[in-house]
Amino acid sequence: MKSASWPLIGLVIGAAGGWLWGWSASDYEAIDSAAGTAFLGALAGLLIGAVAYSLARRRNRGEH
């Protein structure tokens, strides 16, 4: 898998995880909770994916 796709994969996984977390953990207005938590999960996933991409790129640059 190309490391350049890691931020996008992190974004999707974070959004899906946030949606499920918000939907299952809320009794009152679950759709609002799921949407907000999905947004925050997507941001966190994007950040984690970008850091992983940066570290992989730095590691590969050192090998050449």
Q: What is the mean pLDDT of the chain?
A: 88
- Note the pLDDT of residue 42: 96
Model confidence over 19-45: pLDDT tens digits? 999 888 877 788 888 999 999 999 999
Q: How far apart are CA 38 and CA 49, in angstroms?
A: 16
Is 0.85 surpassed by the pTM of this model?
A: no
H-helix segments, 1-64: 6-25, 30-63
Q: How far apart are CA 19 and CA 63, in angstroms?
A: 39
